[in-house]
Amino acid sequence: MLLLVGLGNPGPRYAGNRHNIGFMALDEIVRRHDFSGWRKGFQGGVAEGRLGGQKVLALKPLTYMNESGRSVGEALRFYKLTPESVIVLHDELDLAPGKLRVKLGGGAAGHNGLRSIAQHIGPDFKRVRLGIGHPGRKDAVHGWVLSDFAKADDAWLELLLDALVRHAELLVEGDDGPFMSRVNQEVSPPKAKKTASKAETQPRKAAQPQANETAGHLAGEMESNAAEERESLLAQALKRALGQLGGKTKN
């Protein structure tokens, strides 16, 4: 059995907050994978279902973020699970919006929900880090995480939750690498390199001979004009010489 935990704060006031993306992800998994309805338990909301052949207990702590560990610890002890059986979905400031990373163990990195869980069950649980971006200033973090997603976030947020739900079986089966790759590729597909088409390259190839031909014509015309000018000057000189000779003969 696995314990799949989504982190957030309870109540409609916080429902659309960036800090509640863990709740949002877990709600979608429960809804689309036909888990049982939500019921109260372990100081939170719980729902049961199966993913990838595994029995899964979904848990949303309703203790507020800073006390999430109380709920997780109670469920862990009741089912006699180990920390390695716990997967926590949570918001991550240090990832760009829409990016996802999975890691086992580690520190809390300033996240109060993770810190509380580590205090109650130890640090060796799996974390699914859901990127919400950073506001750019440390003093703006509190307001950032406790404010709603902007309208502009809807597109990537919908893609992220959809991909996470569709590939959730890989996560519970321990295939973290393929899970991360598939989700991230679907949210931010790699950009194809632009290659010049045959039609685009042909005019460039044809342009060089045409330019050479034009230059040849211009050179020919210039040479012809120079020759005509030389002939004209020679004829004028010959005419003057004959005129002078004729004048001397008359005298």
Cα 145 to Cα 21: distance, rounded to the nearest angstrom = 10
Cross-strand bridge partners of residue 47: 58
**Burial, 152: exposed, middle or buried (Cβ in 10 Å; 0-12, 13-18, 19+)?**
exposed
Clarify whether 120 is annotated catalytic: no
Question: CA torsion 35→122→92→160, rounded to 10°?
Answer: -20
Cβ–Cβ < 8 Å for 48, 36: yes
Cα 143 to Cα 71: distance, rounded to the nearest angstrom = 25
Cα 206 to Cα 213: distance, rounded to the nearest angstrom = 11
**Phi/psi of residue 223, each to 5°?**
-65, -40
Cα 100 to Cα 199: distance, rounded to the nearest angstrom = 40
At 63 the three-state DSSP class reads coil
- Which two tokens mark 34? 């036909």
The catalytically annotated residue of 19, 90, 111, 167 is: 19
Q: How far is the CA of 56 from the CAs of 62, 87, 206, 245, in angstroms?
A: 19, 10, 66, 124
Query: Which residue numbers are catalytic?
Result: 19
